[in-house]
Every structure is written in C-alpha cells, then in structure tokens.
Chains A and B, each alone.
Chain A
C-alpha cells in the first residue's frame, strides 16, 4: 500500500497544500450556505405575531452567524492556519489518499440505493458487504463472498421475521 510511505517532508508539504485548498473550499461552502439560508428567508411571509417575530427571524440569525463564522474561518485559513484532522480509530495517514478505496465505498452506497428496490435486500446487501470489505483491504474473495451472503441472509431473516420490519425480497421473493 502506498500509505506506508509517510513522514517525508515532501509528502507533508504536499499534504499541506492539498489541505489548504480543501480548507478554503470548506470555508467557501459555509459562506455560500449562509447566503442561501438568508436568501431563502425572503420567500417567507411577513410576521403576523404581535412581536414582529416571524418564521424568517431565526433563520436570519443563523444565516448571519454562519456567514460570520465562514468569513473568520477563511481569514484564518488564508493566514496559514489549518485544522488537525481527526485522530480516527486506527492507523491513519493523511499524506496518503486512497482515492480508489474511498470511491469504492461511495460507489457501494450508490449501488445499494439503486439496487435495493429492484434486486431485493439479500442480493444488494451481500454485494455491498463484499464491496466495502474489498475497499477496506480484504482480499480473501471466496471467504468474503460467503460471509457477505450469510450476513445478508441473517439480517434479512432477523428483521423481517423477528422484528416484523419490511425489507424488499426482490427477485428472491419465491424463496423468502
């Protein structure tokens, strides 16, 4: 894995630059969000309460606060400040970005949403479990596949039979 090559100053500098753009994007996003919240309040009718406080009051407060924080954040980033990434749960190295693994996780979630109502829970969940296990680094394909199927079937049976929660049976309707 490429992630094992950490600690070089070049990599750290690259990570810093990388992080810098992300930081700016995050601040920009927050700024845009504040503006959107404010613009949204314009469509709200004027208050009819005696206090003159209507549905637009609190969103406007939130919008102003959001914009203020975003501006302060952007100033901080432009002055060279940056956040400490979450220490997470295990061996993590932020100078490495396994973009393929992350996209695979994202792809598995999208696939899950597209397949679940068509193929049914068991097939969809098996594929999802297998794909995530692969993305996190498991390479024992057969064992992964068997385990995926077992997990999906157990979850399906426990939820539909035990907890009476509806899950789509899909193409396996005849069996379940």
Chain B
C-alpha cells in the first residue's frame, strides 16, 4: 500500500498554512469563474500562469487544481439558475435543473448538485490515489511508440468526441497542431513557420492562444449576437432545500454518475460532456417516472453533476501518470508543470512525489471547502450573477489584455491575441470546438518528440509505431471508442429530443 503512505505524506504538504490558503483561493476563484458565464477554468489558469512564476510549484498546482474542481461546482449554479451552462460539463444539468428552479425547487437542485459533486469528488479522488501508482507501474515500461499511440488517442478522442461534428473537431485539432509547429524545432534548431518574424521564433505563447480563443472570441461573439444586455436569473426566494424524498432519489444517481464519469475521464477519452449525457440517459432509463425528465427530475441533476466532477478527477489520471492532457483545462495545467521545468509523465510520481501527492491530498481538502462554499454560501454567488453583463465582459476583456501584455510587456502579444480572438469568434460562429485546438497546440510538440524518438530507434521504419501489443491495443480501442460513443450519442440525442430540446440559446 505504497499509495496510502505516500498520500499521508501528501497531506503533510497540503495541510501547511500556505497551501491551505492557496487551496482556498483556488476553490473560491474556481467557483467564481464557474458561476460567471463567459469565463472558465482554462482561461483563468492561463491568465494566472504569468503571475505564479515566483510561487512554489506545489502552491501553484494546488491552487490550479482548486480552480479546476471549483469550476465544476460553480458551473452547475449557473446552469440551474440561468439555464446557460457555465461549463460544457453542465449543459445537461440546465435542462432539469432550470425547470426545478422555475418550479420553486432551485435550492433543492443546487443542493443535489453540490452534494453530488462532493460525493463524486471524494470517491473519484480516492480512486485516483489508488490508480495512479498502478498505472505508473505500467507506464514506465512503455516506449516512445506507445506514447505516440496514446497521444494519437488523446488527439482523436478530444477532437472527435467533443462537440457534434467529428470533422469540425478534427479541423480545430489541425489548427492547433499548426500553431504548435510555429517556432524553432527543438532537435534541429531550424525555424518553422516563422515567416521572418523574429518574435515567432519562440513559438506562439500558449497563454495568448488560450486567452484569445476563450476571452476575446467570447466577447466578440456576445457583442455580435446578443439579444439581451441582461441575464434572466431564476429566483431562490422561498424555495425549499432537499426533502427526504429528494435525498432518496439522489443518492443512487450520485454513485452511478461517479461510476460513469471517472473512467471516461481516466481513459484518454476527452470531454466532460459525454459522461454527463450518458448519466442523464441512464437515469432516465432506470427511473420509475421517466416522464418527469425534462420537467424537473432531480435525478437529471444529481447524476450528471456527479459525473462531471468524477470526470474532472479522472482527467487527472492520464495527466499525472502519462503527461497526456485530455481537456483544455488539463492542457493548461500541463503548461503550468512545464513552467517549472517539470514534464508530467510516469517519472513524476517518483521524482516529484511530494508535489503530486500534495496535489492529490489538496483535492480532498478542496472538495470539503467547495461543499461549504457552494451550499451555505450559495446566496453570495447568486449575487455575483447580478453583475451587469456589459461590466462582466468589459472586465474579462481588460484581464485578457492585461494577461497578454504582462507576459512580455509587448504590444506584439496583444496583436497575436487579437488575431487568435477573431479566429475564436469564427470558430464559435461556425460550430468548431475550441478545446481540440488547445490540446493540439500543447500536445502536438510532445507528440512530435515521441514520434521522432520512435523513428530514430527504428532507423525510420514506420512499422515501429504498431510494433508492441500495447500500441496495437491502443489503436484498436481507439477505433472502438470512436464508433461506440457515436452510436450512444445518437440514441441519447433522440432521447433528449423527446424531452424538450436541451439548451437552445
């Protein structure tokens, strides 16, 4: 049980006053950005990256993990009260959650989401702590070609499973891979795609890409297409908390949501959307009152909200053990590791044992903090939603510009961010998902490294890529993973359709 003793050491790291403070700051910021429409965890972490350069790695990562978990909690609040999902993982919650809120059961919906998130977070983090050392034992035996296979899997599942169109996801991924190529090649020292611009030799700073796509793209999108300059918030006044019946109906969906969310995050399968959809359709199938779904069924909130939190913990498994990010937020956390000269991978658990286990321990602590932040204090977050929309987006723009400028004190960076922002607008407008671009830009160079390593060893023989049982299995699973969810999603889309269209506008 090396995991348990290591975890106890982790608590020693996480329970210092400084790190508790950073966990609190992280979970608070995370809930805030989860609640606020237009700003999510990936953008927030990207903006904070330049500011955390001088901090201890453990403190920074504990804060970032808090933001990641916190946004999952906060996103449900917006979904339920506004019917505009704060995060993609909360899209399905908006259907029944908002119906409950409009029917005077908003508080019950918020509680089942928060408690479900807590239950899922606690279970999933425990499984993470147990699974991580076991996966590392396998991962250390993998060769470069195996890693390349895993990265191809991450690429394809992130791009093909996110959003509705596989082709559009792949197009976004291709854009990201191109962005990742820009700059000096690490092995040969040759400049690629620099077009004679000296500032491009170091590549395009990933912070600019993320901030441009998420912040500027979003503000442009809202400015161009909004119909209403204010949000419509469902009131919590006079609504009741969870009744005995609500508890009875919630606990099983919490557990089932966890069971669906964690594994789908842990295998590089990308996206917190799919597990929430699966959980929703499962609950509907098992319910004695399937007709209530779409009209305010508490199971339709409890299951998906547990699933998206468990999924967040699951995503940390490939990130910490293999160095492979399967969501935009995980990709930014990978950049945070790189900022400290640490490359996540199987060696991480031995070389940075205190850091990793401190991080995992902080997730348990953060989870408790989040329950307190999101249940008794939920009224506070509702107040924050009353910030006028113009000020919210003006603030987002200002922080985006600040983040772009302060990285190098350079106006050139503002222009890069502006151009990426325009691209972000077009991608939203024409239905291209953003996350594959970010994963492609960050993971692309790492995939090239593994590919060239593998081919150097084989003296250029391409068959090395499918030379091990592991890589063959990965490619086989990949083909399955691409076909199976499509069939499930099609069935699920039909089911959701019968119950009123999910989140239109």
Residue of B nearest to A1 (CB): B227
Is there an interface contact between A102 and B220, defined as CB atoms closer than 8 Å?
yes
**Chain B nearest CB: distance from A19 CB in Å?**
7
CB-CB under 8 A for A53 and B224, given A23-B430, A62-B177: no
Is there an interface contact between B390 and A133, defined as CB atoms closer than 8 Å?
yes
- The residue in A34, A109, A114 that gathers the most chain B C-beta atoms within 10 A of its C-beta is A109
Q: Does B2 contact A (CB under 8 A)?
A: no
Is there an interface contact between A98 and B224, defined as CB atoms closer than 8 Å?
yes
How many residues belonging to A are interface residues under a CB distance threshold of 8 Å?
A: 89
Is there an interface contact between B226 and A155, defined as CB atoms closer than 8 Å?
no
Of A22, A92, A112, A134, the residue contacting B221 (CB under 8 A) is A92
Query: Which B residues are CB-close (under 8 A) to A1?
Result: 227
Docked complex Cα distance between A125 and B399 (Å): 10
Interface string of A106-127 (1 = CB under 8 A from B): 1011101110110000000100
**Chain B nearest CB: distance from A152 CB in Å?**
8
Is there an interface contact between B390 and A69, defined as CB atoms closer than 8 Å?
no
**Chain A nearest CB: distance from B455 CB in Å?**
5
Docked complex Cα distance between A91 and B394 (Å): 18
Query: Which B residues are CB-close (under 8 A) to A76?
Result: 167
Say whether chain B's binding surface is mostly helix, strand, loop, or mixed.
helix
Docked complex Cα distance between A98 and B84 (Å): 21
Residue of A nearest to B219 (CB): A105
Stretch at the interface among B18-26, B186-194, B237-245: B186-194
Q: Does A173 contact B (CB under 8 A)?
A: no
Q: Does B432 contact A (CB under 8 A)?
A: yes
Q: Does A174 contact B (CB under 8 A)?
A: no
Chain A stretch 67-113: residues in CB contact (< 8 A) with chain B: 69-70, 72-73, 76, 82-94, 96-99, 101-102, 104-106, 108-110, 112-113
Stretch at the interface among B262-270, B317-325, B330-338, B403-411: B403-411
Docked complex Cα distance between A52 and B167 (Å): 32
Of A33, A52, A93, A165, the residue contacting B225 (CB under 8 A) is A93
Say whether chain A's binding surface is mostly helix, strand, loop, or mixed.
helix
Docked complex Cα distance between A96 and B431 (Å): 17
Of A83, A86, A136, A137, the residue contacting B165 (CB under 8 A) is A83
Docked complex Cα distance between A102 and B227 (Å): 13
Q: Does B113 contact A (CB under 8 A)?
A: no
Of A30, A88, A147, the residue contacting B174 (CB under 8 A) is A30
Query: Which B residues are CB-close (under 8 A) to A53?
Result: 451-452, 455-456, 460
Docked complex Cα distance between A88 and B190 (Å): 40
- The residue in B175, B398, B402 that gathers the most chain A C-beta atoms within 10 A of its C-beta is B398
Is there an interface contact between B167 and A69, defined as CB atoms closer than 8 Å?
yes
Docked complex Cα distance between A49 and B451 (Å): 14
Query: Which A residues are CB-close (under 8 A) to B231?
Result: 90
A selection of 27 A-B contacts at a CB cut-off of 8 Å is: A37-B193, A51-B452, A51-B459, A52-B460, A53-B460, A55-B185, A55-B187, A58-B452, A66-B174, A83-B164, A84-B165, A84-B431, A86-B427, A86-B428, A86-B431, A88-B225, A90-B389, A91-B227, A91-B228, A93-B226, A97-B225, A98-B224, A116-B405, A125-B398, A128-B397, A128-B398, A136-B390
Residues of A within 8 A of B (CB): 1, 3-4, 6, 19, 22-23, 26, 30, 33-34, 36-37, 40-41, 44-45, 47-55, 57-59, 62, 65-66, 69-70, 72-73, 76, 82-94, 96-99, 101-102, 104-106, 108-110, 112-114, 116-117, 125, 128-130, 132-138, 144, 147-148, 151-152, 155, 159, 163, 165-167
**In the complex, the 3 A-B pairs of residues with the closest C-beta atoms, listed nearest first:** A83-B431, A137-B229, A89-B37
